[in-house]
Amino acid sequence: MDTSAPAAATERPASPAQLAWLTREAARWAADGVVSTDQAAAIVGGYRVVRRWSLAALGLWLGAGFVGVGVIWLVAANLDRFPPLGRFLTVALLWLASVAAAEIAARRIRTRRSPVVGGLRGLAVLLYGGVVLQAAQSLQVPAFDATLIGVWAAGALLYAYAVRGLAPLVVGIVLGSGWLVWTLGERAAGPFGVLLAFGALGAAGFALARLHHGQAGGFAATWRLAGAVGALAALFVAALPWNYELTDAGWPGWTAIALAVGLAALAAARARGLDLLEAIAGVLVLVPALAVGAWSSHASSDIGAADITRAVVAVAVFVAAAAAVAAIGVLRDEPHLTWLAVLALAVFTTVQAFAVFAEVITGAWLFVALGIVFAATGWVADRGRREMATALDVITAEGTDR
């Protein structure tokens, strides 16, 4: 058997924690005689340390953001020294130049998720927004119109899928979410439209994450995060103690829900087991969110038994949803979902405590009760995380034996 060190290959990126783990494991392999010392050194030497958020990446993202916002600001200021056509052509040329620069950089820089390419693509998406706003100004379209945000979001998403770029996808999801909340909130003239918007985002986000699972580029993780934010936000809005009127959100609201449910059905048809639950997680959250929202509450100083019961049910549903998001984070090895679930649970519990339970438990006792709730939640979450990790290890071991 050839025990010589393998030929040097192109270095692969790894986080400091990953490289530290690999170094320890390679030393253990060498001590056990699985590989030679030279082979262990060659294995470790095939990777280089890459930090996800380096100073260079932060500078590139901030630079792209400031330039993009600055151009949009100049458009909003009308640039009176130029005629309308001149303003439009100037912004359009800047946008096209940024698109060309991003794609040239993508061809020359082979590093996966290069911050340079990401920054240039993010700048291109922001400049595209300037083109949309300038075109709307030339056509005498009102500036405060959700349609402009929708056109901007659609262009960002199309660009993201055309170049498989993560930065345009993030911008597109943020803008699209804002457009949906704005549109349905105005249409329903109340919180019900906002609830529908976040609920549709949650259902569509989890479904699209499942449909993108296994593909490179980070699209699945991004859509999964959007779905988790949307689902938890829908429950948060539904549980707030105000007078809920189930006003009609019109065809946009119900179309958004129908599309989200349709995507969930498509994802569910391609999934099995735990993947099936993830595919329909947003829909499973949307149903109780609508139920809690439909449960009448009165935002006044007189908190009755019905309001307390509604708040308790809302807390129980939110805790279950947050636990599900945390579990998905463990299953997909995405710690940001776990942190999101914990943060959302802390904010939700605090808001509910001061909005509803403060009328029943007053003064210092309210803080004592909150402390007990947070401590108990942390203990349950940690125990659930450990048990889930153990179960996953058992499943992995059984799969290896087979």
- Does residue 5 surpass a pLDDT of 50? no
- For residues 168 and 214, is the Cβ–Cβ distance under 8 A? no
Q: What percent of the chain has pLDDT over 70?
A: 66
Please tell me whether residues 141 and 276 are part of one structural domain.
no
123: CB partners within 8 A, 6+ apart: 64, 67, 68, 98, 102
- Does residue 101 surpass a pLDDT of 50? yes
Banded pLDDT at 249 (limits 50, 70, 90): low
Banded pLDDT at 206 (limits 50, 70, 90): very high
Please tell me whether residues 135 and 283 are part of one structural domain.
no
Residue 133 within a domain: yes
Flag the least confident range among 154-158, 192-196, 302-306. Answer: 302-306
- Does residue 226 surpass a pLDDT of 80? yes
- Does residue 35 surpass a pLDDT of 50? yes
Please tell me whether residues 221 and 289 are part of one structural domain.
yes
pLDDT for res 62: 67
User: Which tens digits make up the pLDDT trace of 323-362?
Assistant: 888 888 877 878 888 888 888 887 887 777 666 554 555 5
Residue 211 within a domain: yes
Give the residue, 259 or 361, on which the prediction is more confident: 259
pLDDT for res 115: 72
Residue 65 within a domain: yes
Banded pLDDT at 172 (limits 50, 70, 90): very high
Report for 154-158, 236-240, 307-311: range of highest mean pLDDT? 154-158
pLDDT for res 148: 87
Please tell me whether residues 175 and 239 are part of one structural domain.
no
Report for 38-42, 104-108, 179-183, 247-251: range of highest mean pLDDT? 179-183
Residue 126 within a domain: yes
- Does residue 374 surpass a pLDDT of 80? no
pLDDT for res 15: 67
Tell me which residue has tokens 């290896």.
Answer: 400
Tell me which residue has tokens 């995507």.
Answer: 263
Flag the least confident range among 9-13, 24-28, 216-220, 293-297. Answer: 9-13
Please tell me whether residues 20 and 136 are part of one structural domain.
no
pLDDT for res 244: 56
- Distance, in Å, from the CA atom of 36 to the CA atom of 32, rounded to the nearest integer, reads 9
- For residues 161 and 140, is the Cβ–Cβ distance under 8 A? no
Give the residue, 315 or 224, on which the prediction is more confident: 224
The mean pLDDT of the chain is 76
pLDDT for res 2: 45
Neighbours of 351 (CB within 10 A): 14
Please tell me whether residues 158 and 234 are part of one structural domain.
no
Please tell me whether residues 151 and 180 are part of one structural domain.
yes
Three-state DSSP class for residue 359: helix
Residue 6 within a domain: no
pLDDT for res 252: 77
Please tell me whether residues 339 and 384 are part of one structural domain.
yes
- Distance, in Å, from the CA atom of 86 to the CA atom of 351, rounded to the nearest integer, reads 51
Mean pLDDT calculated for residue range 295-306: 58
- Distance, in Å, from the CA atom of 391 to the CA atom of 395, rounded to the nearest integer, reads 6
- Does residue 9 surpass a pLDDT of 60? no
Please tell me whether residues 345 and 319 are part of one structural domain.
yes
- For residues 46 and 11, is the Cβ–Cβ distance under 8 A? yes
- Does residue 11 surpass a pLDDT of 80? no
Report for 30-39, 65-74, 174-183, 213-222: range of highest mean pLDDT? 174-183
Residue 2 within a domain: no
User: Which tens digits make up the pLDDT trace of 107-143?
Assistant: 877 666 667 777 788 888 888 988 888 787 777 766 6
Please tell me whether residues 343 and 274 are part of one structural domain.
yes
Mean pLDDT calculated for residue range 175-200: 86
Give the residue, 179 or 311, on which the prediction is more confident: 179
Say how many domains are in the chain. 3
Residue 183 within a domain: yes
User: Which tens digits make up the pLDDT trace of 146-166?
Assistant: 888 999 999 999 999 998 888
Mean pLDDT calculated for residue range 278-301: 77
Flag the least confident range among 5-9, 177-181, 193-197, 204-208. Answer: 5-9
pLDDT for res 232: 93
- Does residue 214 surpass a pLDDT of 80? no
Please tell me whether residues 349 and 205 are part of one structural domain.
yes
- Residue ending a domain, among 162, 188, 214, is 188
Can you give the residue range of the structural domain that contains 253?
190-402
Residue 1 within a domain: no
- Residue ending a domain, among 188, 223, 251, is 188
- Distance, in Å, from the CA atom of 207 to the CA atom of 256, rounded to the nearest integer, reads 14
Closest CA to 280 of 214, 203, 197: 203
Please tell me whether residues 297 and 362 are part of one structural domain.
yes
